[in-house]
A and B are shown apart, each in its own frame.
Chain A
């Protein structure tokens, strides 16, 4: 229907999360109308982010270090952080939310999602195997499960609790009081800080 290059762009945009065919078309035509410099700036920021940023090999948070597979994030390489306590979160943005509370001095593990059979995401699609690996090598004493306060987050926490129950590690969960049904990032810093402080042990 459109010139091949335009159709390619629409197809690529349509593969992005939350963007349907109609929106993909609208964005594509918006890009076509943009001044060349503005469009190239967007293209460059995509290449730059792919060149400079990848996943921390240890915790799967965002790490700056390009395509280097051995790269670690700022938190994993910071000696002042307490390596015996690890906060387990769904996404890198949750790390940001918890860091903002300034209540937590341990390290993180980013699962990169939550269990959601509707979306075809089972435990095997999450960074759970890597978490088990860290438990064997890093001397971790406590895991704080900080998944989102919604059904999928809860299910993921329950799954991890069941999986970890016989391992010699203390497992705790955020105190209730977070707005239910939402994301961790919607909770304000004070509420989230309190929930971290008042965490309750679920096993170990």
Chain B
């Protein structure tokens, strides 16, 4: 699949912009830092997931001072002979409106798959160095891209946790059942106890399905990450530093049901759910040592790239068409050897569309198929 055309109006720094990247190979977008290159990448990624890359609310995506108070994104995506249009109107107040092939989208999951992307960004370093939330989203985003139906599983988990946490807080405040606040050592009012049992049972069902799916994904990713890391790092690393492992770590031991039961007094005291897949992590290791604490910055960057490449390859194989590659200012963070090696390891660019932003040079092996320049909020050919 490839992005044939993108039209932006009042999105981030752009007043109006039209972007037609090359169908295959590298389309380079150059421009000074802060000129708005990342905004272009964000626009493409937004049409893929309806989420901002930088987790900004819709209102923040609208150009400051836009007279209409809204932003418009229109796109044409080519799937072999089939053309899919995805259009989004973002409003500062009120509901955003998304249309696929002219039909108003009722649920986000019905969009997923219209445009698939793999984003490489300098922030990816936090996949290795940052908190577990980033690694969980890495897995969850891939799960949804592989199977849009899983979007429902993730939103169910979010909803169950919100409801359970609300119940825990209201039990503590005494708003639920009997009007007496729960205190440590005291039994729960019957009403609260049965209701909490119900949310626990829901959390167990949803949580166990999600954990099973994440574990399966980690198993599929393991050889791909190891392979990608090996080829990215070969030449620059000692053989003992070439092996990488991913291990899914649940945040409890035994069954989730028993763990929730055991954690209940603690959860009630804190008003928040302390066990479940929302606390899990993926342990990343290089040469059998934890990558977060026992790897150099260069190794960590390479591992982050390997995670993205592995995800991309998994998706390309599962979808029978490679997702669009979005590389946002990635080369500036890499030394020349690593940049060349990333270039050499990108998927076959004869059939993959890659949109690459850079403030400076491209690696020596890059031969772009199209060039654009960003200046003063304008996109120039």
What residues of chain A have their CB less than 8 Å away from a CB belonging to chain B?
Answer: 22, 115-118, 120, 122-124, 151-152, 154-155, 158-159, 162-163, 180-181
Say how far B300's CB is from chain A's closest CB, in angstroms: 39
Tell me which of A115, A118, A124 contacts B198 (CB under 8 A).
Answer: A115
Say if the beta carbon of B160 comes within 8 Å of chain A: yes
Given A122-B195, A159-B195, A151-B176 contact (CB < 8 Å):
no
A155 touching B93 in the complex, CB below 8 Å, given contacts A117-B170, A120-B170, A123-B191: no
Task: Report Cα–Cα, A115/B194, bound state, in Å.
Answer: 12
Query: When each residue 40-66 of chain B gets 1 if its CB lies under 8 Å from chain A and 0 otherwise, what string results?
Result: 000000000000000000000000000
Q: How far is the CA of A117 from the CA of B199 in the complex (A)?
A: 10
Instruction: Check if B270 is an interface residue, CB within 8 A of chain A.
Output: no
B192 (CB) vs chain A CBs: closest residue: A122
Q: Is B122 an interface residue (CB 8 A)?
A: no
Q: Is B208 an interface residue (CB 8 A)?
A: no
Are B191 and A181 interface neighbours, CB within 8 A?
no
- Report if B317 contacts A (CB, 8 A): no
B163 partner, pick from A22, A118, A163, A181, beta carbons under 8 A: A118
Given contacts A120-B175, A122-B170, A124-B191, 18 further A-B contacts (CB under 8 A): A116-B163, A117-B163, A117-B167, A118-B162, A118-B166, A122-B192, A123-B194, A123-B195, A151-B156, A151-B202, A152-B163, A154-B202, A155-B195, A155-B199, A158-B202, A159-B198, A163-B194, A181-B156
Known: A117-B170, A120-B170, A122-B177. A151 touches B198 (CB 8 A): no
Q: Which residue of A lies closest to B205 (CB)?
A: A154
Q: B residues engaging A (CB < 8 A)?
A: 93-94, 107, 152, 156, 159-160, 162-164, 166-167, 170, 175-177, 191-192, 194-195, 197-199, 201-202
Cα distance A115–B164 in the bound complex, in angstroms: 11
Chain B nearest Cβ from A83, distance in angstroms:
28
Q: Could you give 25 example pairs across A and B, Cβ below 8 Å? A: A22-B94, A115-B195, A116-B163, A117-B163, A117-B195, A118-B162, A118-B163, A122-B170, A122-B177, A122-B191, A123-B191, A123-B194, A123-B195, A124-B177, A151-B156, A151-B159, A151-B163, A155-B163, A158-B201, A158-B202, A159-B198, A162-B194, A162-B198, A163-B194, A181-B152
Q: What's the Cα separation between A122 and B192 when bound, in Å? A: 8
By a CB distance below 8 angstroms, the chain A residues around B164 are 117
Q: From residue A161, how far is it (CB to closest CB) to chain B in Å?
A: 9
- Chain B residues within 8 Å of A117, by CB: 163-164, 166-167, 170, 176, 195
Measured between alpha carbons, how far is A117 from B175 in the docked complex, in Å? 10
* Chain B residues whose CB sits within 8 angstroms of the CB of A115 once the complex forms: 195, 198
Nearest CB of A to B157, in Å = 10
Q: What CA separation (Å) do A162 and B199 show in the bound complex?
A: 13
Question: Which residue of the partner chain B has the closest CB to A161?
Answer: B198
Beta-carbon contact of A122 and B160 below 8 Å: no
Q: Are B162 and A158 in contact (CB under 8 A)?
A: no
A181 contacts across to B, CB distance below 8 A: 107, 152, 156
Chain A residues with CB under 8 A of B195: 115, 117, 122-123, 155, 159
Q: Most chain-A CB neighbours within 10 Å: which of B93, B195, B197?
A: B195
B186 to chain A minimum Cβ distance, whole angstroms, is: 18
Q: Which residues from A are CB-within-8-Å of B191? A: 122-124
Complex alpha-carbon distance, A181 and B175, angstroms: 28
A residues less than 8 Å from B170 (CB atoms)? 117, 120, 122
- Across the interface, name the chain B residue whose C-beta is closest to A128: B191
Interface centre among B93, B177, B198 (most CB of A within 10 A): B198
In the assembly, what is the distance between CA of A34 and CA of B147, in Å?
50
Bound CA–CA A116/B160 (angstroms): 10
